Chains A and B, each alone.
Chain A
Amino acid sequence: GIQVEQSPPDLILQEGANSTLRCNFSDSVNNLQWFHQNPWGQLINLFYIPSGTKQNGRLSATTVATERYSLLYISSSQTTDSGVYFCAVNTGGFKTIFGAGTRLFVKA
């Protein structure tokens, strides 16, 4: 089945710094989502982005479907950005496959 790899696995940032999280996938996908799991365990939809670029405030995402990767950009990071960021893909079947996540800690 499809493999979803996220990098880096862990990231520590000083408040105000920018970062780029990467998601590589091994096969064509029908959709791709980015999620933020906050320290309380809640999953927050960030982007639904099977291709192209989207922006929402300090966050933006780009998916290059032909090259099988997606990037999540976080600018001017805040302590509330801490948590785990997941990339999840669907290849046309019923399963959504999650990556292992990037654990982000933003220091004040």
Chain B
Amino acid sequence: NAGVMQNPRHLVRRRGQEARLRCSPMKGHSHVYWYRQLPEEGLKFMVYLQKENIIDESGMPKERFSAEFPKEGPSILRIQQVVRGDSAAYFCASSPDDRYQPQHFGDGTRLSIL
């Protein structure tokens, strides 16, 4: 299955630690999107990246959150100094070159903050 791969599936961190979430897009896809889903809510856009470039990060919190999509390797969503409110499911999606193509989603990473 060459779908969008996210790892880990579940991540537990204590307040103040760092969380790193990884996303490998579908083969041939160069556009990656990160979304956050709080409990009982829909998904909210966070950031859109192409290889080595952040295209739109208007949905990212201004502090503690960052994202990258290096030339080699997966896209990384990094959350520094996590707080309880960061507990959520984080989904990654990818699409081919045309952003109007449908987005294909990974299974998500469920982040729990103790």
Interface residue ranges of A12-51 to B (CB < 8 Å): 30-31, 33, 35, 41-43, 45, 48
Which of A59-67, A69-77, A86-94 is the interface stretch? A86-94
Cβ proximity bits A78-108 to B, threshold 8 Å, 1 near / 0 not: 0000000010101011111111110000000
Instruction: Give which listed residue, B35, B89, B102, contacts A33 with CB less than 8 A.
Output: B102
What residues on B are CB-neighbors of A30 within 8 Å?
100
Size of chain B's interface in residues, with CB distance under 8 A? Answer: 25
A96-B33 in contact (CB<8A): yes
CB-based nearest B residue for A103: B40
Interface of B is mostly: strand
15 new A-B pairs (CB below 8 Å) besides A43-B105, A43-B108, A96-B45?
A31-B101, A31-B102, A41-B108, A42-B108, A43-B91, A43-B107, A45-B105, A90-B100, A94-B33, A94-B45, A94-B48, A95-B45, A96-B103, A98-B42, A100-B42
Counted as pairs of residues, one from A and one from B, with CB atoms less than 8 Å apart, the total is: 53
The 8 tightest CB contacts between A and B, nearest first, are: A48-B102, A98-B42, A94-B56, A43-B105, A94-B48, A95-B45, A98-B43, A100-B42
B42 adjacent to A93 (CB under 8 Å): no
